[in-house]
Chain A
Amino acid sequence: DAGITQSPRYKITETGRQVTLMCHQTWSHSYMFWYRQDLGHGLRLIYYSAAADITDKGEVPDGYVVSRSKTENFPLTLESATRSQTSVYFCASSLAGGLNNEQFFGPGTRLTVL
């Protein structure tokens, strides 16, 4: 049971390049989330998805694009990377929405933008 995986685990890119971070879950969870983690800011929600083809903005969506054509995949794209997007990115999933949802997190992707 693979659970939730992220790829790549580490990525170095240059300013202006497009970067896609992948997230895959094997549980058929309805909800998926993308967070970024920065010192002093904890976890901030970038985008989330309640189901395939349904996505919504979180707290810090600018500069990011998501899609969800299949339930199990939720890629995050930085269309033109900036240095301020250097961060650790976490993908998470939960069985359903609402109050009682436990989120399961992937191992994270450390992205450095030079």
Chain B
Amino acid sequence: AQSVTQPDIHITVSEGASLELRCNYSYGATPYLFWYVQSPGQGLQLLLKYFSGDTLVQGIKGFEAEFKRSQSSFNLRKPSVHWSDAAEYFCGFNTNAGKSTFGDGTTLTVKP
């Protein structure tokens, strides 16, 4: 079955600390993976995406993600978190049918 798992429902980090949000997927082929961010009261915005090539991809706002085929993972990282990064983060993938499958999201809280 096609699915996305974000194991951490809620993560709290201190401002300036590093961040890693986990994402695992189940898909029959190489997926087109993405991370979206949803700020409070807003719609979703694309952070970054991966389909092929370099397994470490850079996104907006200083985020990066690494694709690891052997682990079926696509974890999101940021070296130093800012208070404005507090939001909900969604991992997912696209299918050939033009649809997307999203994980349940991880809520990030940033402590001052």
Contact = CB atoms under 8 A, between A and B. Distances in A.
Interface of A: 31, 33, 40-43, 45, 48, 50, 58, 90, 92, 94, 96-103, 105-108
B104 A101 contact: no
Nearest to B42: A107
Contact of B49 (A41, A43, A102): A102
A107 B46 CA distance: 14
Interface stretch (B64-72, B78-86, B89-97): B89-97
A101 B43 contact: no
B99 A58 contact: yes
Interface of B: 32, 34, 36, 41-46, 49, 51, 90, 94-100, 102-105
B90 A43 contact: yes
A105 B43 contact: yes
B35 to A, nearest CB: 12
A88 to B, nearest CB: 10
B63 to A, nearest CB: 16
B104 A40 contact: yes
B46 A102 contact: yes
Contacts of A102: 34, 46, 49
A97 B98 contact: yes
A58 B98 CA distance: 11
Given A41-B104, A48-B99, A99 B94 contact: yes
B98 A48 contact: yes
Of listed A33, A41, A92, A97, residue having the most chain B CB within 10 A: A97
Contact of B43 (A48, A94, A100, A106): A106
